[in-house]
Each structure stands twice: as C-alpha cells, then as structure tokens.
Amino acid sequence: MPDSAKPFVITLEEHYSDPEVASRAAPTGGHDSGGGRAGSRTALVPRLNDLNELRLKEMDEAGIDVQVISHVPSPIQQINAEDAVGLAAAANNRLNDAIREHPSRFAGFAMLPTPDPHAAADELERAVRELGFKGAMIHGRSQGIYHDDRRFWPIFERAQALDVPIYLHPGPPHPEMVQAFYGDYLDDFPSLNSAAWGYTIDTANQAVRLIVSGLFDEYPRIKIILGHMGEGIPFLVDRIDEAISRPGNRRDGGASFRDAFCDHFYVTTSGFFSTPALLCAILELGIDRVLFSVDWPFVENGPGMKWMETVPLSNEDREKMFNGNAKRLLKL
C-alpha cells in the first residue's frame, strides 16, 4: 500500500514470553510456528523475550502500529494455585512496564492464575483497573480441566462486570484426544499436534463447551475472542446449531447455539490468511466481529499485511478489520 493510503493497524494475538515464567517449567506441548512459517521455538526465543527494539522494528517494517501483547502458553495454568497467583501478577507488572515505555505502540492482555479462579478474577480486575490491560488470554485447560467448568465462572463473571473480553487461545491438546485421533502419525507429522490440527480441535471444543454449558445464559454480556479465524466454528456453526436443536437434546430455553456464538464471539485472522475462510467468518458473524491479527512471532507480520491488500472488502470494512473493531471492543 502506498504511504498515503496506509491504514492504522492494530493486531490482537501477538505473543511474548516472560523469562521468569518460562523458567518455572515447560508446559506439555505449547505453541509452535503455525506450520513452520517462522521457524522453531528455540529460534524464536529472542523475539518472544523482546518487548522493545526488535519487536518495534518488525512492526514498523510491516506497517503495524499497535500490538496487543499476550503471553504464550505457560506453566501458570498448570502449577499450584499459590505460586501461580504471585507469578502471574509479577509477569503482568513486567509487561505493564514495557507497555508504559511504548504506550502508543503496545497494549496488553493479562495472564491469569486460573488454578485459583477467584484470585484469577481479582487479578483480571487489577490488571484492567490499575494497569490498563484490555482483557485477558487463557490457554487450553487448567490442570487438566476445561474452563466451562463452573469453578472457573467467577473469571467470566468478572470479565462481564469489567466489560472486557477473554481471548480463548490454544494450549496443549488433551493427551487422550491426541492418542485417539492422530497419535500414530505424530512421528511423521508433528504439527498435527499443534497448529495443523490439534490446536483447532481442542480450542473449538472448548468454545463449544462454553456455549452448551449455559455460561452465556447466566452472563449475557460476556465477550470471547477466538483466533485462527474462529477455529473452524464459523464454517460449522449452522450444522452444529441444527443438530443441537433436534429432538432428544436437552433444551432449557436461552439462546440457540448459533445465536450464542454470533452474539458473544469475535474472531481474529491470527495465523490464518485465507480469503475464503475470511468471507465465511464475515458472512456468519458480520464484519464488526472480525479483527486482523498476525500471531507474531510464530507467523511473520509481512504475509498478513500483504494478504490484506488482496481481500475483496470495501475501504470501510478493511478499516474496521484493521483498527475500528479493535478500538471498539478493547476501548483503545
């Protein structure tokens, strides 16, 4: 794009790693490079650890103005609750220090000590009210338990009260699912356990569980963000809705599956630069609920920006994806 036409660009799924958190222990699995497009995890460590010049340089080269930064999957959701609370708060403070150094370029999603849901809700409130964070990101399961479990509902209740979103991000796929679904292929195709398939199945499953749990009936103003173009759900939402509505499925009133998804979820393009998938998401959710993101540094900034030059959208809708929707959702 010529400089005169350059849009203001905000990206929402851009990661970092806090060295103190990372040193605690390595989670089982974790994030990978989205199919190898940006190199191995080891090679990415300097970029993940950087909250200054290297990150800003790559943003500037691609034309990205603001990153909303979030931690990669970490031990926080797997360790004992007491340690998780202090470690998460300290990491959020350090991320806030970096944001304060570059307040026009960085914003943050909080890390939450989910093993103690009430403490996690309190940390979310502290991060939003005192540090100015824009919501929180949670990954996969906590100590083996999906977050639709009622013990975690205080986190969502607090998010609703604060009017901030929860970004639902992949974590290590459930080990029993891995072995049953594709474990015999992992030696030849290790990415099946991450961005190629496992992350999508596990995260879409968690989103479906949140909807059928009744969470959104009890907290009707919750906002959830899904990356990777909605983890396949925009393509499947109508079929899921129709099947769940058949006789024999428990119905206690409340919104339909499709309405719950379209009313409560937002999706980002993180690591998924496909025009057919984008158009599907827009047709199901509407342009106001689709936001541009990259998934840096696991995916490079440049391909995402170049792809956006080709998408068949009006200038107004492109502007919404690049910044308008993020400004409204995150109060930027």
Each residue's pLDDT tens digit, 242-251: 999 888 776 6
Average pLDDT estimate for 108-116: 98
* Residue whose token pair is 């900034």: 301
Q: Strand pairing partners for 71?
A: 16
Cα-based distances in Å from 193 to 119, 172, 189, 196, 277: 31, 8, 8, 7, 22
Average pLDDT estimate for 151-159: 98
pLDDT exceeds cutoff 80 at 227 = yes
Q: Distance (Å, rounded) from C-alpha 122 to C-alpha 157?
A: 11
Give the residue numbers annotated as catalytic, written as ranges. Answer: 295
The total number of structural domains that make up the chain: 1
pLDDT exceeds cutoff 90 at 255 = no
Strand order of the sheet with strand 66-71? 10-16, 66-71, 106-108
pLDDT, tens digit, 9 for 90 and up, residues 47-65: 999 999 999 999 999 999 9
pTM above 0.85, yes or no: yes
What CATH number should be reported for the domain holding residue 119? 3.20.20.140
**Band of residue 5 on the pLDDT scale cut at 50, 70, 90:** confident
By residue range, what is the domain housing residue 122? Answer: 3-330
Instruction: Return the closest-CA partner of residue 266 out of 311, 227, 314.
Output: 227
